[in-house]
Chain A
Amino acid sequence: MKFIFDNDTWQEIFGSIKKSKLRTAITVIGVLWGIFLFITLLGAARGMENGFDKEFSNLATNSIFLWAQRTSMPNKGFQRGRQLRLKIQDVEAIRRQIPDIEFVVPRDVQGVFGGPPAQIKRKTNTKTYKLFGDYPTLDNVNKVKLLDGRFINSSDINNERKICIIGEKIVDELFEKDEKPVGDFLEINGSFFQIVGTYKDNGTSFEGDDSVYIPFTTYRKINNTGDNIGWMVIAANKEADILEVEKNVKTLLKRRHGAHQDDERAFGSFNFGEMFAKITGFVKGIKFLTWFVGISTLIAGVIAIGSILLITVKERTKEIGIRRALGATPRDVKGQIVLESVFLTIIAGILGIIFGGFVLMIINATLAGGDGFPFVNPTVNIPIAIGAVLALVTFGTLIGLIPAQRAVSIRPIEALREE
């Protein structure tokens, strides 16, 4: 061990490295490139994972959108092609009868699934926007990013209040810069609504930034929809099998609405949980690939160091022979070569980590500023970086042993033989 900290050992190593500067540099670049790729890829994958996490943090990811369609099979005396309607009572029934349900949020909209959008008037300006009738629980499945004021509350629902929350774009289009929308009034489909909040797009909802939210009960009343609801968002517990939940919900609804159990088209749905699982799987796949490619590149780099040292040993056969004639023990010779290998790998490794970190910083600065999907905070854990360096030391030692063994297997007399 003393040998590693001996100044003279390093003098010898620097001496032999200096002897072939260019080759050493190229070799070092090989390993540097390997660990650079490793760190950059790993950080990028991590950034992507963070990006997805952040992107979907607004969302109950284990959820389904569900709506009613026309039946495609005759049942109970009804002909096929009957238009089904989801009822407000279905919400309670689903919540009660299906296990693993976290929320069921009924929703209504004007101006998305056919039909004209709502007429919104302020002073002399009239424009058309999407109009949503919602419950406060919407916030639980798809977070509303409020800029000002508040969202719908249960009191609004109970009292069928004429209040609304409007998107950023509407504020821009109907208000002057110095006007404050909250507290002001808008005329929606002929009725006046007080604005209680403004929101901005959260990136994962189809409301965008040009919609108006009003309480579900108010919506029902002004549109005369009775017990009908547009569609619902069903969020299951995180651990629940979302496909199973979807099946159970549909079975229940078909029974309640007199549709045939085999009728696949009676209710339509979009299984967000399933999609999310695919995305998660994709990110996992990328991560695995990153590790695989990174480690392979690293090994390739270290092997390059080994082979370069092997060539160096061959070139230095005579020098090694001289050293041995002068009293270098096989251990001296071996130690020097192994240490040279380890030294080169560590230098390359550290430089690679620094460059990798630098590139990640650039990625972070250019792509991840603000809402920059898909890279958010691309980083590599310190333990992983340290682990990578330790792995390099190990590989460097192992690979260095090959040329070292070669060096001492040549007998000094053979090394010194006159050509």
Chain B
Amino acid sequence: MIEIKKLHKSYPMGKDSLHVLKGLDLEIKEGEFVSIMGASGSGKSTLLNILGLLDTHDEGEYFLNGQKIEKLNEKKAAVLRNKFLGFVFQSFNLITYKTALENVAMPLYYKGLGRKERQEVALDYLDKVGLKDWANHLPSELSGGQKQRVAIARALVTQPKVVLADEPTGALDSVTSGSVMELLTKINNEGMTILVITHEEEIAAMTKRIVRLRDGVITSDVKPKKLQKA
């Protein structure tokens, strides 16, 4: 599903440049539930941005769903993001003046679906995350956990190939975090490929594969035992 080879990325910092990703190799297959762990500055967010087509890499190769990603203009990137990727952010990033339903329906708008169809599909997905009754509430009327569920519904609504979650529990308490992770696990069990970025061990432990990043290189790539058992 995702394959990167010798991926490099550096940012210019004045005269010098900051070498953030130093030749990463990673392959994520369809249906995997992977967490990428690392301290801040390890390059995990940069990696997610590149995987999410929000940023470009300098060297190396990136294949998304078998398609080589290079020389994308903004328009192509937008279309690919809409088609293949779903995003879940730490701060939810819901649009404040739109209801939960409208937020979930938004990617479908950019996909070009009709209004009625959008509403129906969006409602299905809200139902899936258990928020059907909250469809017409604004984000400000929802709890943190509920907001993240809406965001997950929004990420799923276009039936993407991969869901990219950047610290999805970073703004939530541990109980809510647990339930969000349970939801992600459930979705993964239905076949969705999920990539979670986190710095919390407990969260990483709930995924099926843990990739550790340190100073721009992968230091370990393991599948927790208890899951291997399962």
Chain A residues in the interface with B (C-beta under 8 A): 7-8, 11-12, 15-16, 18-19, 318-319, 321-332, 408, 411-413, 416, 418
Contacting residues of chain B (68-107) with chain A, CB-CB under 8 angstroms: 74-75, 78-79, 81-83, 87, 89-91, 93-98, 106-107
Instruction: Say how far B122's CB is from chain A's closest CB, in angstroms.
Output: 12
Contacting residues of chain B (40-73) with chain A, CB-CB under 8 angstroms: 49, 52, 54-55
In the bound complex, how far is the Cα of B79 from the Cα of A18, in angstroms? 28
Asked if residues B82 and A326 are in contact (CB atoms below 8 Å), the reply is yes
Chain B residue at minimum C-beta to C-beta distance from A328:
B110
Chain A residue at minimum C-beta to C-beta distance from B95:
A319
Chain B residues in the interface with A (C-beta under 8 A): 49, 52, 54-55, 74-75, 78-79, 81-83, 87, 89-91, 93-98, 106-107, 109-111, 115, 154, 158
In the bound complex, how far is the Cα of B115 from the Cα of A326, in angstroms? 17
* A332 partner residues in chain B, CB cutoff 8 A: 78, 110
Instruction: Say how far A133's CB is from chain B's closest CB, in angstroms.
Output: 85
Asked if residues A326 and B55 are in contact (CB atoms below 8 Å), the reply is no
* B83 partner residues in chain A, CB cutoff 8 A: 327
* A16 partner residues in chain B, CB cutoff 8 A: 97
In the bound complex, how far is the Cα of B55 from the Cα of A321, in angstroms? 13
Asked if residues A329 and B95 are in contact (CB atoms below 8 Å), the reply is no
Instruction: Say how far B102's CB is from chain A's closest CB, in angstroms.
Output: 8
Instruction: Say how far A333's CB is from chain B's closest CB, in angstroms.
Output: 9
Asked if residues B87 and A325 are in contact (CB atoms below 8 Å), the reply is yes
Instruction: Say how far B107's CB is from chain A's closest CB, in angstroms.
Output: 4
Instruction: Say how far A271's CB is from chain B's closest CB, in angstroms.
Output: 70
Chain A residue at minimum C-beta to C-beta distance from B81:
A327
Additional pairs, 4, CB under 8 Å, beyond known A325-B87, A413-B49: A325-B54, A327-B158, A329-B78, A331-B75
Asked if residues A318 and B93 are in contact (CB atoms below 8 Å), the reply is yes
Partner of B97, one of A15, A321, A329: A15
In the bound complex, how far is the Cα of B115 from the Cα of A304, in angstroms? 34
Chain B residue at minimum C-beta to C-beta distance from A325:
B87
Chain B residue at minimum C-beta to C-beta distance from A332:
B110
Asked if residues B55 and A413 are in contact (CB atoms below 8 Å), the reply is yes
Chain B residue at minimum C-beta to C-beta distance from A318:
B93
* A323 partner residues in chain B, CB cutoff 8 A: 95, 106, 110
Chain A residue at minimum C-beta to C-beta distance from B106:
A326
A to B CB contacts below 8 Å, 12 in the list: A7-B115, A19-B97, A324-B81, A325-B54, A325-B87, A326-B87, A326-B107, A326-B154, A327-B82, A329-B75, A332-B110, A408-B74
* B111 partner residues in chain A, CB cutoff 8 A: 327
In the bound complex, how far is the Cα of B73 from the Cα of A408, in angstroms? 12
* A412 partner residues in chain B, CB cutoff 8 A: 54
* B74 partner residues in chain A, CB cutoff 8 A: 324, 329-330, 408
Asked if residues B115 and A8 are in contact (CB atoms below 8 Å), the reply is yes
In the bound complex, how far is the Cα of B54 from the Cα of A137, in angstroms? 89
Chain A residue at minimum C-beta to C-beta distance from B83:
A327
In the bound complex, how far is the Cα of B52 from the Cα of A273, in angstroms? 80
Asked if residues A18 and B110 are in contact (CB atoms below 8 Å), the reply is no
